[in-house]
Structure 1
Amino acid sequence: MIDESIFKAYDIRGVYGDTLDEGVARDIGRAFVNYLGLSGSRVIVARDMRLSGEPLEEAFIEGVTGSGADVLDLGLVSTDALYFAVGHLEEPGGAMITASHNPQDHNGFKLCREDAIALSGDEGIYQIRDLIKSGRMPGPAEFAGSVEKSDITQEYARHCLSFIDRESLERPLKIVVDAGNGMAGKMLPPIFEGLPFEYVPMYFELDGSFPNHAPNPIEPENVRELQERVVSEGADFGAAFDGDADRVFIVDEKGQVISGDLVATLVAKNILMKEPEATIIYNAICSRALPELVWSEGGQAIRSRVGHSIIKPQMRQHDAAFGGEHSGHFYFRDNYFADSGTIAMLTFAELVAAQDGPVSNLISPIDPYVRSGEINSEVSDQGAKMDEIEGYFAEAEGAKIDHLDGLTVDLGTWWFNLRPSNTEPLLRLNVEANDRETLEHNRDMVLEMVRG
């Protein structure tokens, strides 16, 4: 029996040799073709550098071709390059074998349909699960599909570079890049060849055992070496990518990590300079600084729930030029509305190169707030606890409460969002305030309520 826990809200992910193996991968390939009706069409498949990637990719391809679909195998590329290929080549579906930032024994699948529209739990992933569970998938196709290999590295590099005006990059930058032994180590060198920047590579060798640190830059311990290196090199900024290189995290010239929502704010600023009145999507966890900048620059800011399967359709609906999340996901209309850490880094660099001062000078004028960062607490009954906290704040004078994504309470000088994890018995708390004292007092108060 297949382990249903591997089918997540945004992708398929499990532990290789335990909940995920070649047999499961083959079934997912078959179900993917049958669910989308891709027999007789071509599916684009790629993988990251994880040690289990090659056998899982081969098994998935067997499932796809056995169901009558052809395969264009891109081999080792980043997830954003896979999305680009599906959109650019106008193919009806694609699959990336990756577990993103998870530990080395994990792997999985990010699946998309035409125009790089990602499958999510309610829109494809759970249906694929149910098709496998039912045991009623059609048998092998009368004519198996073929497999063709291709390399889109250079083509993707040109696509990424098209987002910036290279002729205007008069100020040379020095950028330290930590690929974390992930796919950025392969995808970025051709891009930097087209730039007047110096880059200092860290851990560009592809190695799915992750010998230097875990491929998850959102954890502070995984970016400490990058922070130190930026300062010692006298670099303008640093960039850390996750394993499949679809997310990026930025470190300023002082070695301070810039939160994902502030990176999104600066990317939005760059986009609005080129496209006044553009629509920008941001999630409910992002700092107030983001919508305030968008409105002040003449753009349209639309608040959204967290998650690519929520934000991408909204971007299409509103023809939004850009979407940003606090988690380091950055979405671009001209990238088929898909996320790309590489394009985010380039647009950020373009903004830095257009001014004389350091990165920290870009941030200070747009960010008067202080934030807690995301704090997780284990809670047995998430719903009851959130109801209890909402009941308390409903009595507070001037409190504005909404349920766009979990519980958000705005009390003017500070606000917080509390939302349940999709996969664990956790409540995730984010607090923002006008000053440090207000933040710390109210953060501790809400945490005591959550954990009490």
Structure 2
Amino acid sequence: MFREYDIRGQVEQDLTPEAIDLIGRGYGAFLAKRGVKKVVVGYDAREYSERIKNTFARALASTGVDVVDVGMVLSPILYFAQYHYKFKGGAMITASHNPNGWSGFKLGYDLATTLLPDDIAEMYQIIASGKFPKGRGQIRKRTGIIDAYTKQVLSRIKLARPMKVVVDAGNGTAGPIAPPILRAAGCQVIERFCDLDYSFPNHEPNPTLVEVLEGLGQAVVKNHADLGVGYDGDGDRLGTVDNLGGSVWADKVIILLARSILKKYPGSKIVFDVKCSDALPEDVLAHGGVPVMWKTGHSYIKQKSNEVDAALGGERSGHIFFRRDYYSYDDAIFASLKLLEYLSREKQTLSEILKTLPQYVSSPTWQVDCADEVKYGVVEKLTKEFKRDYGAKQVIDINGARVKFPNGWGIVRASSNLPVLVLGFEAKTKKQMAEITAIFKKKLLKYPEIGKKWKSG
């Protein structure tokens, strides 16, 4: 359950009432060491999320922490609430894009800050010690945070012309929240799976799955929309398709947003993760920016963006962080609005603009089963093999192994929140990409710990 930068597990199997109580008390003790006395708490739209929130909040209050419950919200709205109420503590009960039956905690101890591996390890040790402070914190409910969030987001957006957009919320938390905001910004919105349904009957709340983007693309073409956007279960990841229904991976969205930001803030740093296309650093350099590659993971990208004072940070998974004229946290609704604002000022369609980017053929992000207990060891062995076979200079190992070839690259890394390995490939042609993919598949077949079936993730 205690993963690199958050806590996730299966409800009742891992996240029992007893475990949730311990997590709440452990978090309270963690905050006490930092002098944090107040926490804002929210939860996503899953059948069990409110029950988990209630148990967690009671445990947290028992350590002397005051809790403000803002109800069912998106993760970026929870982060905004920290600023709005001036609370350093923030706790979001969410399984993010994981399937039904999962839940978890995204925890913070300062504004635009979520736990990193050392913090998670410290909290685990606190829980293992069983030593928790005792107190009588208050639990209060506050309403109106979604309205406050909506007002501040809209104050930062101005479309040059009306835009037509299809919105796919995957029956998750963003469904009742995102469409009204986009309409208020001046968009004509066609809703797709925007009603709340805890069973996720249409697809998992993961906007970067190939099948999700294909369905969204078909809806865009059918409705003659300018683009389609999808949100994950807690609204901090963005999926995009263009006006022709083609999938637009988030690294390409980051390129367009970076172009816009670099006009206003020339010379700025742009942080991106190891799974992103070579097109991103090339285009950033071409537009006068400074590209900075870093580890995959929203907490890592957030930390690195703060460290180097980047104007923008982002991941291929769809987490996008604006650090100029915004709050520095990942917010898919705000990112989609900034993309719409950018497109509204351009004469070309999104599909036409994408042709101006450096051209590569990129695979989806692939996942293959590998148990949590062995996945990091397997990736370490694969990294050594790739260095041996292709030379250490050809392997970027800040997060798994990103192996450079004459015409492209491939990457394998351990997922931070699921028992899987994550892979991706890119080259100048489909044939070259297939050749790189085959090299990786041959390597993986040597390991019985690794599953045989690849799926998009």
Structure 2 length-normalised TM: 0.90
Alignment of 1:1-400 (within 5 A): 6-37=1-32, 41-123=37-119, 125-138=120-133, 140-141=134-135, 143-164=136-157, 166=158, 169-333=159-323, 334-377=325-368, 381-394=378-391, 400=394
8 Å CA contact retained: 2:179, 2:191: no
8 Å CA contact retained: 2:410, 2:436: no
State the Cα distance separating 1:423 from its structure 2 match. Answer: 5.9
State the Cα distance separating 1:86 from its structure 2 match. Answer: 1.0
State the Cα distance separating 1:247 from its structure 2 match. Answer: 0.6
Structure 2 CA distance for aligned equivalents of residues 227 and 359 of structure 1: 13
The one-letter amino acid paired with 1:323 is: G
* 1:42-66 Cα shifts (integer Å, max 9, x gaps): 2100011110011111111111222
Which one is further off, 68-77 or 210-219?
210-219
- After superposition, the Cα gap between the structure-2 partners of 1:40 and 1:270, relative to the gap in structure 1 and judged at 3 Å, is closer
- After superposition, the Cα gap between the structure-2 partners of 1:77 and 1:137, relative to the gap in structure 1 and judged at 3 Å, is same
State the Cα distance separating 1:202 from its structure 2 match. Answer: 1.5
State the Cα distance separating 1:358 from its structure 2 match. Answer: 1.6
Structure 1 CA distance for aligned equivalents of residues 160 and 326 of structure 2: 26
State the Cα distance separating 1:273 from its structure 2 match. Answer: 2.4
* 1:148-185 Cα shifts (integer Å, max 9, x gaps): 32321121112222443x1xx23221100011111211
In the alignment, structure 1 residue 414 sits paired with structure 2 residue 408: yes
The one-letter amino acid paired with 1:108 is: G
Structure 1 CA distance for aligned equivalents of residues 113 and 167 of structure 2: 29
Runs of 5+ in structure 1 lacking a partner? Answer: 1-5
Identity across the alignment (%):
35
The one-letter amino acid paired with 1:31 is: G
Runs of 5+ in structure 2 lacking a partner? Answer: 447-457
State the Cα distance separating 1:261 from its structure 2 match. Answer: 1.0
Which one is further off, 356-365 or 380-389?
380-389
8 Å CA contact retained: 2:182, 2:337: no
Structure 1 CA distance for aligned equivalents of residues 117 and 326 of structure 2: 23
8 Å CA contact retained: 2:382, 2:401: no
Secondary structure of the residue aligned to 1:366 is: coil
Which one is further off, 430-439 or 12-21?
430-439
Structure 2 CA distance for aligned equivalents of residues 383 and 39 of structure 1: 38
Structure 2 CA distance for aligned equivalents of residues 301 and 383 of structure 1: 26
Aligned residue for 2:453? none
Structure 1 CA distance for aligned equivalents of residues 224 and 354 of structure 2: 19
State the Cα distance separating 1:372 from its structure 2 match. Answer: 2.4
8 Å CA contact retained: 2:44, 2:94: yes
Structure 1 CA distance for aligned equivalents of residues 138 and 418 of structure 2: 39
- After superposition, the Cα gap between the structure-2 partners of 1:385 and 1:316, relative to the gap in structure 1 and judged at 3 Å, is closer
State the Cα distance separating 1:272 from its structure 2 match. Answer: 1.6
Paired positions, count: 438
Secondary structure of the residue aligned to 2:57 is: helix
* 1:187-226 Cα shifts (integer Å, max 9, x gaps): 2144224322101111222222212221112222233332
- After superposition, the Cα gap between the structure-2 partners of 1:58 and 1:378, relative to the gap in structure 1 and judged at 3 Å, is closer
* 1:249-298 Cα shifts (integer Å, max 9, x gaps): 00111111111211111121122222222221011221111111111111
Aligned residue for 1:3? none
8 Å CA contact retained: 1:382, 1:426: no
CA RMSD of the aligned region, Å? Answer: 2.1
Structure 2 CA distance for aligned equivalents of residues 82 and 27 of structure 1: 22
8 Å CA contact retained: 2:2, 2:8: yes
Structure 1 length-normalised TM: 0.91
Structure 1 CA distance for aligned equivalents of residues 364 and 212 of structure 2: 16
Aligned residue for 2:435? 441
